[in-house]
């Protein structure tokens, strides 16, 4: 359509929707497709040796990084030991600046050097779990050495399936009662 690829058209529509719809509380309204990933992880990411939540086990998500994830029952699809960062950045696709995005892992940064990086450090992200993230310069807001999880869950509002969502940390999960 007008020389645009399907992906470019989708990105423009997403950008238009993000600008025209009011958002409250700083939470982004993402579809299950946008929250899902291929499940690929960086080659140098180490699997957790003794995670609290084993791959295949269930947990309750207590994080609200994105709409409709808090309170969802998750199946753990990956558990890794690394340093996680909350970051602020301006997306490369021209979207509004993102403040305190949770989470980007050390292995998703371009030539990050030794862990952990300090708040205020600037880095370039190689992460692809949100549009406009790859190649963006980010400022580190916080750093934490922890077990990070990739999870599958069903959204609490529309019941859509999310596969391989990156990332939630151990303190954002609770046991299933």
Full-model pTM? 0.78
**Residues 98/125, Cβ–Cβ less than 8 Å:** no
Which has more confidence, 123 or 32? 123
Joined together, the tokens standing for residue 138 give 């980010």
- What are the pLDDT digits (tens) for 45-78? 999 999 999 999 999 999 988 889 999 999 999 9
Average pLDDT over residues 79-86: 97
Measuring CA to CA, which residue among 130, 150, 149 is closest to residue 138? 130
Q: How many residues are recorded in the chain? A: 177
The kind and range of the H/E element at 18 are helix 6-20
Q: Which residues pair with 101 in a beta bridge?
A: 87
pLDDT tier at 155 (50, 70, 90 boundaries)? very high
pLDDT of residue 36 exceeding 70, the answer is no
Say yes or no to pLDDT of 42 above 50.
Answer: yes
14 has pLDDT over 60: no
Percent of the chain with pLDDT over 70: 79
Average pLDDT over residues 17-40: 47
The band of 80, judged by pLDDT with boundaries at 50, 70 and 90, is very high
């Amino acid at each position: 359509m007008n020389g645009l690829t399907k992906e470019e058209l989708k990105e423009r529509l997403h950008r238009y929707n993000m600008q025209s719809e009011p958002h409250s509380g700083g939470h982004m309204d993402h579809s299950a497709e946008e929250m899902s990933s291929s499940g690929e992880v960086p080659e140098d990411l180490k699997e957790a040796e003794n995670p609290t939540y084993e791959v295949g086990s269930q947990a309750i998500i207590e994080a609200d990084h994105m709409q409709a994830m808090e309170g969802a029952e998750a199946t753990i699809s990956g558990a890794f030991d690394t340093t996680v960062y909350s970051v602020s950045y301006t997306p490369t696709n021209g979207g509004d600046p993102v403040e305190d995005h949770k989470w980007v892992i050390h292995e998703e940064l371009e030539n990050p050097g030794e862990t952990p990086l300090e708040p205020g450090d600037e880095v370039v992200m190689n992460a692809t779990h949100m549009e406009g993230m790859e190649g963006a310069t980010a400022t580190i807001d916080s750093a934490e050495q922890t077990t990070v999880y990739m999870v599958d869950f069903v959204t609490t509002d529309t019941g859509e399936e999310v596969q391989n969502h990156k990332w939630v940390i151990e303190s954002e999960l609770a046991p299933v009662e």
